Chains A and B, each alone.
Chain A
Amino acid sequence: MRSEYKLIFERSHEGRRAYDLPECDAPSAVCEIPEEYRADNDLKLPELGEVDLVRHYTNLSRRNFGVDNGFYPLGSCTMKYNPKINEELAPMFDEVHPLLDPAMCQGCLALMADMEHMLCEICGMDAFTLQPAAGAHGELTGLMHIRAYHEHRGDTARTTMIVPDAAHGTNPASAAMAGFKVKEIKSAPDGGVDLDALRAAVGPDTAGLMLTNPSTLGLFERNIKEIAKIVHEAGGLLYYDGANLNAIMGVVRPGDMGFDVMHINLHKTFSTPHGGGGPGSGPVGVKSHLIPFMPVPRIEQKDGMLTLNYDKPDSIGKIKSFYGNFGVIVKAYCYIRSLGAAGLKEASENAVLNANYVMNKLRGVYEIPHDRTCMHECVVTPGELMDYGVNTSDIAKALIDRGYHPPTIYFPLIVHEAMMIEPTESESRETLDEFVEAMKGIAEQVKTDASAIHAAPVTTPVGRPDEVTAARKPIVKYEEE
């Protein structure tokens, strides 16, 4: 199975070409640019014919694994199926320049306005901006709203953002980037927010609390109303990390739980493909008291036309060029319009059903540190399998050999050797059954032949990488010998 694969630079033959430009009908004007500004040489790029280039990338894609290849229960990432129709429709706007007069792009603006409106309804918020390009970008944007809110009231003492220790790493990182001090609070034994710790943490310096609900353990935060009360009474605002929204669509809304500001990952909950690491999209929703601070431009109706209004003196400004990852927004829009209210609720219900189904079938084989009805994902650990000298990483690698993408591993940090399994609603019962059988098979093999587990994966083009050398002596680009 093992095989190296040449880099595209190693396939270059001087003089070959794959591009095809029309003949230029204007006289050359390169001489208009002084020589001192011009490069002395051509760029060092590979030269290939089109067919070789196509084969290079096609074969590279075969060394990769997406949702279309198989089950991808990567916790917190909501790797649901990406509908094909959405991929077909989004490119219809490819030729629209972003700086057209609004009169010439009413279709794009109408789609975006519609999308903002639907996200408000789904989340129970009063307004949405589609500008942020990813979840972390949305977090930063949302936190900027909280900062602007306090600054606007002249309450400059509110400089601390409270973040539970179970939070996604982006939460504290975004808070720091937004200029807050981060105060981490320990989780309660059940994995939820420790109310006493929260009460002790809030004060006149509290800007807000960032929370994921369901939590990163996949559990619904039952004390959410009390949490909201504690934070609000202390003068802080509540930020909702929407990474886990797929559990609750049509069931309960962040706005109704008391959150003031939130982001959504369109590339998780709303089915847009993640592109192997992006592009995503992280729209931010706010309650009415935060609307003045939203990024510009705002899409507004004026004289029967949609316009882009930049005149918002209290706005945080812009956090990205233009209006967001529009192409991604179109796909998510198509998803919501395809499913409607009942379809979104059906998606969440089945996401939760599938997660509980898997969790129940794994009970007794793997350890479930917080064993109660989970939401869209569950967290398990190897438990006593560790006694055989294997860890979570070994089990993940063994899953690769059985044709699965492993769950998220070593997160949340508060669970030792965590495996976070998020099946999503896209998976059929037999897929889940087969996955459970694979997990059980691995557990059996751990007891009988742990060395085989340590050797995994054996079915992949390469074995486990030497990450220490990669980090100590980084090679981050190709150099000709």
Chain B
Amino acid sequence: MRSYVPNTEKERLEMLHDIGMNSMDDLFRDIPEDLKLKKPLDLPKPLSETELRDLIHGFVYMNEEGGPLFRGAGAYRHYIPSVVPQLAMRSEFYTAYTPYQAEMSQGMLQSLFEYQTVICRLTGLDAANASVYDGATAAAEAMLMLRDNKRKKKILYSAALNPDVITVMKTYAHCAGLELVEIPVTDKGVTDKAAVAANMDGAAGCIAANPNYYGCIEPMAELAETVHAANGLFVAYVNPISLGVLKRPADYGADIAIGDGQPLGLPMAFGGPYVGFMAATKKLMRNLPGRIAGQTTDAEGNRVFVLTLQAREQHIRREMASSNICSNQMLCAIMASMYCCVMGPKGMREVAEQNIAKAHELAKKLTALDGVKLRYPDTPFFNEFVIDVEDAAEIDKALANYSITGGLVLPDGGMLWCATEMNNTEEFDFVCDLIEDTLDPMGGEE
């Protein structure tokens, strides 16, 4: 049996005697006898390190992945510089708890302060928190920020947000007694501005994504203007990788910017851990949920970083706190920050440009096939786009036979494709050949 308890049987017994006890059972004498387990837990037998490694390898082999990937829809495969995971494995970082004792946690606190600064620079906004669980929970928390700041319970959201994000928002909204109003998508694949204007009466604000779930770049400035005209707050849910090229939330007047930081150096890892980032204007800083690192000094005047604005939080406000969050995704946040610092201004631009180039090339090649159409040909896109095609499910299956993960098949029959700097044009050609064969099985037989 594997044990991480250092004390030997003999030492344990001596310790028991030291405190006037004879057996381990004595330690549990406060527990009513009839509640205690009468037999050992029914769990698989313990494994040695070697056996454990084999077991996990077994699960890995049960998965069938590893081929070319053209799927995004909320989780993206990007280049992860080797320094990011390696530095995150410094055990002074990853085996620490939340930095409650500032004097011995300056490493984490400063890293966090740097992360907040990076998020402010990406979004152009004034303040960021130390992260929340993921993009979806960031959206849910943003709703609560709107509610608290405007003291209104009606919130608009774009139907072009990621469906997972919408589902999570609805779950939270039900409990918070919020009225969520869905703003439809136009035939151009973007949020219906007129519907925003028509529904803003009594609303605290509106949440929209850029690029949106369908890959389309939204006219965010117009949406923000519409929301502001009705005295609401505008929340931009952004893909951070796009910000190397696209306008930043502050550029188009967003009051709050949120999103999932996974594209910034975090692996896909079957859905987590990722990191939800949140930034806001100075006016809304105190509405941000959870931990925030701040700068101050010690008695000698040295620059010191601390957790600050804590009186907003659950451990002090208890039921009056606007969020219950405490543990967040600190290590993931710091990895995202490391990623941005590795990439720098040029790297962030280049990776965004490569995503645009690859996605457009893929779209061009796919739509050159008979029977494949871009759903929103007149709307600019970033690294994802929707095609309409007969029998997407069949295509998906055909690609899977070659270990290729194609675009995500949408409930309406479309396919949501993604290309990043990790894809290459050879893959595009191969995929197009396979799709051509699937669409016209006779055509390939010469």
Contacts and interface: CB of A to CB of B under 8 A. Distances in A.
Interface in B30-61: 30-32, 35-37, 40-47, 49, 52-53, 55-61
A318 to B, nearest CB: 4
B41 A121 contact: yes
Interface string B349-361: 1110110111111
B194 interface: no
Interface in B13-43: 14-16, 18-19, 21, 24, 26-32, 35-37, 40-43
A350 B270 contact: no
B199 interface: no
A141 to B, nearest CB: 9
Given A133-B329, A321-B274, A464-B103, A94 B267 contact: yes
A7 B114 contact: yes
A53 B332 contact: no
Contact of A321 (B122, B136, B354): B136
A147 interface: yes
Interface in A408-450: 408, 411, 425-429
B308 A99 contact: no
Interface stretch (A198-206, A230-238, A275-283): A275-283
B24 A327 contact: no
B101 A96 contact: no
A127 interface: no
Interface stretch (B163-171, B224-232, B438-446): B163-171
Contact of A466 (B298, B318, B351, B396): B298
A47 B349 CA distance: 13
Contacts of B175: 140, 144, 147, 177-179
A467 B298 CA distance: 9
Contacts, number: 684
Contact of B97 (A179, A274, A279): A274
B107 to A, nearest CB: 3
Given A38-B247, A97-B405, A426-B5, A476 B292 contact: yes
7 contacts: A4-B303, A170-B315, A317-B168, A429-B14, A465-B297, A469-B297, A470-B306
A340 B164 contact: no
A99 B360 contact: no
A338 B47 contact: yes
Contacts of B120: 477
Contacts of A405: 97, 101, 104
Contacts of B373: none
A211 interface: no
A465 B102 contact: yes
A58 B90 CA distance: 7
Contacts of B3: 339, 343, 346
B79 interface: yes
B75 interface: yes
Interface string B171-194: 110111100000000000000000
Contacts of B5: 346-347, 350, 425-426
Interface in A66-95: 66-69, 72, 74, 77, 79-83, 85, 87, 89, 91-95
A212 interface: no
Interface in B78-130: 79, 81, 83, 85, 87, 89-108, 110-114, 116-118, 120-122, 126-128, 130
B77 A97 contact: yes
A196 interface: no
A222 B34 CA distance: 12
Given A322-B272, A339-B3, A340-B1, A65 B42 contact: no
Interface string B285-299: 100000111111111
A65 B177 CA distance: 42
A406 interface: yes
B107 A62 contact: yes
A398 B43 CA distance: 43
Interface stretch (A250-258, A284-292, A382-390): A250-258
B132 to A, nearest CB: 9
Interface residues of A, number: 196
A141 B6 CA distance: 36
Contacts of B345: 42-45, 47
A158 interface: no
B57 A177 contact: no
Indicate the size class of the contact surface on chain B. Answer: 35 or more
Contacts of B18: 357, 360
A467 B332 CA distance: 26
A8 interface: yes
B308 A474 contact: yes
Contacts of A461: 103, 106, 302
B131 interface: yes
Given A173-B319, A466-B298, A471-B308, A319 B273 contact: no
Give the one of A172, A345, A474 with max B CB within 10 A.
A474
B135 interface: yes
A392 to B, nearest CB: 13
Nearest to B348: A43
B283 interface: no
Interface in B311-334: 311, 313-321, 323-332, 334
A20 B80 CA distance: 10
A172 B101 CA distance: 24
Nearest to A324: B272
Given A28-B356, A93-B60, A321-B168, 13 more contacts: A18-B347, A53-B342, A60-B110, A63-B107, A97-B65, A168-B315, A170-B314, A275-B330, A324-B271, A372-B30, A425-B4, A461-B103, A466-B296
A317 B17 CA distance: 52
Contacts of B71: 97, 99-100
Given A66-B92, A172-B318, A274 B421 contact: no
B341 A45 contact: yes
